[in-house]
Amino acid sequence: MDRTRVRKLGKSSVLILLMTISLTACKGKSEDSNFSDEDLAAAEFIEESVYEFGFKLDDFIVKRDTVKNGDSFGLILERNNIGYPKIFHIAEKARDTFDIRKLQIGKPYTLLCAKDSLETPKSFIYQPNVEEYVVINFEDSIHAYTSRKPITYVEKMATGVISNNISQTLEDQGLSPRLAYKMADEIYAWTIDFRRLQKGDRFKVIYTDKYIDDSIYSGVGKIKAAYFEHNKEPFYAFEFKTDTAKGIVDYFNEEAKNLRRAFLKAPVQFSRISSRYNLKRRIAVYGFQLRPHKGTDFAAPIGTPIMATANGTVTKSAYAGGNGNYVKIRHNATYETQYLHMKKRNVKVGQFVKQGDIIGWVGMTGNTGGPHVCYRFWVNGSQVDPFKQKLPEAKPISDSLKIKFSEYIQPIKSKLDSIPFDEIISKNESNTNLITQLN
- The predicted pLDDT at position 318 comes to 96
- The predicted pLDDT at position 94 comes to 85
Is the separation of the CB atoms in 203 and 167 below 8 Å? no
Phi, psi of 379 (to 5 degrees): -125, 115
267 has pLDDT over 60: yes
- Strands, E, within 187-334: which ranges? 202-212, 216-230, 233-243, 248-252, 272-275, 282-283, 289-290, 296-299, 305-307, 312-320, 324-330
Choice among 35-44, 198-207, 326-335 with the minimum mean pLDDT: 35-44
Q: Where does the pLDDT of residue 425 fall: very low under 50, low under 70, confident under 90, or very high at 90 and above?
A: very low
> What mean pLDDT is predicted for residues 381-389?
89
214 compared with 64, residue with greater pLDDT: 64
- The predicted pLDDT at position 282 comes to 53
126 has pLDDT over 90: yes
146 compared with 438, residue with greater pLDDT: 146
Give the angle 379-384-390 at the CA atoms, nearest 5°. 70
- The predicted pLDDT at position 273 comes to 85
| Alpha carbon distances (Å) from 137 to 54, 64, 117, 142 | 12, 16, 20, 6
Measure the CA–CA gap between 356 and 267, rounded to whole angstroms: 8
Other beta carbons within 10 Å of 433: 11
**Sign of the dihedral through C-alpha 185, 190, 196, 200:** negative
Measure the CA–CA gap between 310 and 353, rounded to whole angstroms: 8
- Environment class of residue 83 by beta-carbon count within 10 Å: exposed (0-12), middle (13-18) or buried (19+)? exposed
106 compared with 140, residue with greater pLDDT: 106
Q: State how beta strands 372-379 and 382-384 pair.
A: antiparallel
**Sign of the dihedral through C-alpha 94, 96, 97, 99:** positive
315 has pLDDT over 90: yes
256 has pLDDT over 80: yes
pTM above 0.85, yes or no: no
Q: Residues 35-74: pLDDT tens digits?
A: 555 554 444 444 567 889 989 999 999 999 999 999 999 9
Q: Is 381 left (phi over 0), alpha (psi -120 to 50) or beta?
A: left
290 has pLDDT over 50: yes
Report helix, strand or coil for 340: strand
435 has pLDDT over 50: no
Structural domains present in the chain: 3-26+35-48 (no CATH), 52-148 (3.10.450.350), 152-260+397-438 (3.10.450.350), 272-388 (2.70.70.10)
